[in-house]
Chains A and B, each alone.
Chain A
Amino acid sequence: MNTPDVQGVADQAQVVGRYKVIPLIQEGAGESFNTAVAESDVQESLGLPGTLVDDWHDKAIARLGQLLKERRGLRVFMDTCTKCGACTDKCHYFLGTHDPNNMPVARQDLIRSVYRRYFTWAGRWFPWLVGARKLDKNLLQQWYTYFHQCSECRRCTVFCPKGIDTSEVTMAGREVLASVGLGQQYSQEIITKVKSVGNNLGMKPRALADVLENLEEDILDETGIPVRLPLDEEGADMLVVTPSADFFAEPHVDGLIGYAKVLHQAGIHWTFSSEASEAANFGLFTGQHDHMREIALRIRHAAMGLGVNRIVIGECGHAWRVAYSFLDSLVGPMQFLSKEHPRAEHICEVTHQLLQQGIIQLDPTRNEGVIVTYHDSCNVARGSGMGNVANGQLTIPRELLKASVPGFVEMSKDTVGQTTFCCGGGGGLLTDDLMDIRIKGSLPRAQALQAVVNSDQVTHLVAICAICKTQLSSVLPHHNLVDVRVTSLHHLVGDALVLT
């Protein structure tokens, strides 16, 4: 396995607990954890059947056949698994639930067996020889259960000698399920809101303006400096698109304040947009490419309408993956962007560049007593790059943190960087009805964190993803980690910033 070294890795902390021990399997241990099926009005507003259709079997097979044609990777992933077993103990949901269906290979086989039965010669004639299965109601239910116990984090893919991307298989599974009437309420409802209102939370422009006004007031009270958080300001140079959780939740909002302070200090003329008031793109989670494109299109449309020449994405993991890896093919070319900034940039790379150019100064003594460790978000670490340096997505956030706080500690090497563990709530699983799975899936991250709390008295866990921040704040108390504060990278940057 090729794991790039994370620059400046401190002494490796000993991992406590047992995530390294491969658990004995417990058949069906995760079977009862199910997320609510989308309500019919939600499904129908997305042009999908409201309830399970009568001819679900034929429809599902036909849709799978279509996806196999459209997504060449999916077909390759169906054909290339050799059952070597390298992935079996790499999934946090398997390590947390012990359910063998949460081994990545078994999760893929939920579809692979059906693929073989209906789309391969050997499977059609000799199903018993090649592990081919008919799609029945029971298997369909297993699809629904276990494709919603995968956060599409792609840690297993790093260890797969064939590079099989389980997330693509999960997305295909969810896509087929939604097409026969079994979408997931949480993700599908969010997609309807982002399409109708402009963001996942459903915050209308008036609510957004109220929040931003309140935050401007708070910053002025705290610092005495009139830092602005502009909305829909035509003629701005830079559009900042951030997850709507940044306008709403704690500790996200502290990060939002950090972006504003940095951009103020740098003298950049920037704005948020009420049309594209959401960076997240749940179309990636549900595997529905048309939704993914439509959601991405808002960003292009808003940027062109406001006349900006830079697009910057806030702290959101999968938004960054979509922006960095797919934006051009989804809604490009972005010919209206400036020559100096021809692609969407991450707020971390913007801040990092300003720091390197000496335009802003960070003073770590302003964060006295803060000892930080950094949780690499899966979609950033494994699904993107950052800046114009190799592995910038791993090094840039760390360099910013080291410049902002007096103490920085790495968690165990096999839990960070490219091999980072998911927070346990990604990929459309950040819903209360999956809380049991979220707690179980966060076990490896919690154990790696516990180790550095014991060894180095870590006080803060930082992430650059709205989902990671919400998830980790909610689940860490269940792992007895009550004193570690989960926060935004730009919260600590904003507090360290020399503001004038």
Chain B
Amino acid sequence: MAEQMKAQVRPMTEIRNGKTVISTPVSAEDIAALHVGDVFYLDGDLVTGRDSVHGRVVYEEQTLPVDIKDKVIMHAGPIVNIINGDDPSPGYEMISVGPTTSMRMERFEYEFIEKTGVRIIIGKGGMKEKTAAACKAFGAIHCVLPAGNAVVGASCVEEITAVHWLDLGAPEAVWCCRVKEFGPLIVTIDQTGRNYFEEKRAEYERRKEEQVEEISRQVHFMK
């Protein structure tokens, strides 16, 4: 009972050396204060999963071998060093890990969030309306770790605690990680349904049209 009380009052969000640090597990309420553009760091449990993992869960209706309710999935296929590979229970060392293109998971993400109860999705670039709708409906957020920064990412992984579905190939497997101040993570879809990249895209489209018109006037090379 005392333990339960303690768990309930444990702060999910703290300010550490000027950084906002969120610890897993997190409820929808814990992350409700995070809005698009906010920057935070993560302590706790994170699993990796991309196209094949989402396909298995959503299309093949397999149960993810690890419970990620109130936790974090990162769209990523890391480089992992297998230590003592011949050992019956080999250890793993995270070498490089950064996010992959989240848009590839858009087709799966609504059902994936609904089925798994995952709260925080980390990836690269934007996702669209299905994911935004799921974030609003089930209390989740999407955020980006600026991509290509895989050594910074790996240096925030304290331990790889398990790996599942290695039959999919190492990049596609579910790597279970314990992370410390993993980030910076920038919120791109929040629980109000705001979508940073879609808002930006409208701006970019407008400017692109202006530029296409401008350039087109200067490339009349055809005779």
- The answer on A and B forming one complex is no
